[in-house]
Amino acid sequence: MPVHRTACHALFLAATVAACLTAMTRAEAQERAPGPVTMVRAGNLFDSEAGRMVGPRDLLIQNGRVRQVEADLVAPEGATVLDLRRCSVLPGLIDAHTHLLLEQRARESLSETAARDQGVDGDAARVLHAAPRARSYLESGITTVRDLGNSGQYLDLILQRAIDQGDIPGPRLYGSGPGLAPEGGQLEPQPADPHRLIAGEYRIIKGPDDARSAVRQAVAAGARVIKMYPEATPQRTRLSVAEMAAVVSEAKRHGVPVAAHATSDASIREAVEAGVASIEHAYEISDETLRLMAARGVWLVPTDPSDEMAIAFTRDWPVQPPEAEVRAHLAPARDRLRRARAAGVRIAMGSDFYVPWPTGRGEAARGTLDGYVEAGMTSTEALRSATWGAAMLIGDAGLGVLRPGAYADLIAMPGDPAAGLSALHDLRLVMKGGTVARSDGGACAGT
């Protein structure tokens, strides 16, 4: 990954080759020696940049990356052929906003969740609980996630390292460490906070110099993105403009993007003016601020559930609201996504899903795409937000696309997802870095 590589190059310059080899991840070591070749015969390939299916293509894969993509390639001698000619093939999906270390139970406040995580379960159990969620993501076809805080003190980065090293299965993880927040973080007002739950969950910023220091702490711990709270709901405490500017400029010096959690129009505007890469949520954004986002190329990550998911979520409430009420509650979010599209704002998919779900976290996250379609996106536009768009936001050219040099991260299904996202429910194969992570028999084989 980028951070390792930079360190490695520096070490090579110092001619300490042995030290560099120790610092390399297993995946990086594999990239250096030519390995076996796999040919994937795709029945219908999704061009994520163009946002359309382009028909049959053959992909040559070696050392975890795509080497060649053409129609009618001849399989090299000795290559393993993966016949997916009856299936659509897409780049692995990307969720640009997850919280693998967080699961808020029904009728539990975020403070109570933090108390359970920090005081009852503890860090080790919390990481263990996150491992099957990571696996669920991968098996649901989401091969990359950004994990944006609410992960204790750097527990996301412990998970990130375990996945990088191949210790546990999971998506490529871009973790932030604790979110950089104003006083109180996101926990409900606590006059005393005797157990220091806020400090256990966030990195509270105390001025511009401290903001710079917090960015450096995160980068030193392995963060690949900085999570910042221009305004932390529910108290609506806010970072100062100078603190935000300090976070963004220090993050830019270290080559990491800043993801800003912001809901009110004023806080979004300040974050955009500070130069963040993305605005997460943006529920109360005005058309004027949307136009500013579009002009500055700032990404919107709309963390909106589908109608069906939101209704299912209310099923175990003591008094279940009527479905019409749930839909009405979602209407403003649908409206802001429509307005964002009309203003030409770039959109990357993010689920922000952190409640228990019977079919697993990965499938729930994928349902966010249905929410986008309910707001008026086409299927291909939604798929593009979870491939090309999210990859551009993360800033790694190997992600979200199937072209020479990209990671061999792909998913396959019999139907045509461009014609309707329900095809994603019949996922038959998931590959990450050239390794098959999930395969359901030969449903994709044949002409």
Closest by CA to 97, choosing from 442, 418, 393, 409, is 393
Q: Shortest distance, CB of residue 261 to Zn ion, whole angstroms?
A: 6
C-alpha to C-alpha distances, 52 to 59, 283, 302, 378, nearest whole angstrom = 17, 29, 22, 11
Q: Can you tell me the distance from the alpha carbon of 404 to that of 427, in angstroms, rounded to the nearest whole number?
A: 24
Q: Which is nearer to Zn ion, 140 or 351 (CB)?
A: 351
Q: Shortest distance, CB of residue 352 to Zn ion, whole angstroms?
A: 4
Q: Which is nearer to Zn ion, 250 or 352 (CB)?
A: 352
Using CB atoms, what's the residue nearest to Zn ion? 352
End-to-end CA distance of the chain: 38
Q: Shortest distance, CB of residue 45 to Zn ion, whole angstroms?
A: 32
Q: Which is nearer to Zn ion, 231 or 352 (CB)?
A: 352
Q: Which is nearer to Zn ion, 302 or 434 (CB)?
A: 302
| Position 29, amino acid | A
Q: Can you tell me the distance from the alpha carbon of 403 to that of 217, in angstroms, rounded to the nearest whole number?
A: 35
Q: Which is nearer to Zn ion, 330 or 402 (CB)?
A: 330
* Local structure of 431: helix, strand or coil: strand
Q: Shortest distance, CB of residue 99 to Zn ion, whole angstroms?
A: 6
Q: Which is nearer to Zn ion, 147 or 270 (CB)?
A: 147
Q: Shortest distance, CB of residue 54 to Zn ion, whole angstroms?
A: 34
Q: Residue 282 burial by CB count (10 A; 0-12/13-18/19+): exposed, middle or buried?
A: buried
Q: Shortest distance, CB of residue 318 to Zn ion, whole angstroms?
A: 25
Q: Which is nearer to Zn ion, 146 or 341 (CB)?
A: 146
Structure tokens at 218: 């995160």
Q: Which is nearer to Zn ion, 8 or 256 (CB)?
A: 256
Q: Shortest distance, CB of residue 148 to Zn ion, whole angstroms?
A: 6
Give contact residues for Zn ion (rule: CB under 5 A).
Answer: 352
Q: Shortest distance, CB of residue 349 to Zn ion, whole angstroms?
A: 13
Q: Can you tell me the distance from the alpha carbon of 389 to that of 366, in angstroms, rounded to the nearest whole number?
A: 15
Strands 37-47, 80-91: pairing is: parallel
The answer for residues whose C-beta is within 8 angstroms of residue 304's C-beta and 6 or more apart is 330, 333, 334, 337, 368, 371, 372, 375
- Asked whether the beta carbons of 345 and 293 are under 8 A apart, the reply is yes
Give exposure, 156-182, as e/b (b: 16+ Cβ within 10 Å): bbbbbebbbeeebbbbbbbbbbbbbbb
Q: Which is nearer to Zn ion, 270 or 352 (CB)?
A: 352
Give exposure, 50-70, as e/b (b: 16+ Cβ within 10 Å): ebebeeebbbbbbbbbbbbbe
- Asked whether the beta carbons of 300 and 284 are under 8 A apart, the reply is no
Please provide residue 347's backbone torsions phi and psi, each rounded to the nearest 5 degrees: -125, 130
Strands 231-232, 237-238: pairing is: antiparallel
Cross-strand bridge partners of residue 88: 44, 413
Q: Around Cβ 25, how many Cβ atoms within 10 Å?
A: 16
Q: Which is nearer to Zn ion, 38 or 136 (CB)?
A: 136
Q: Shortest distance, CB of residue 333 to Zn ion, whole angstroms?
A: 14
Q: Shortest distance, CB of residue 101 to Zn ion, whole angstroms?
A: 12
Q: Shortest distance, CB of residue 62 to Zn ion, whole angstroms?
A: 37
Q: Which is nearer to Zn ion, 352 or 370 (CB)?
A: 352
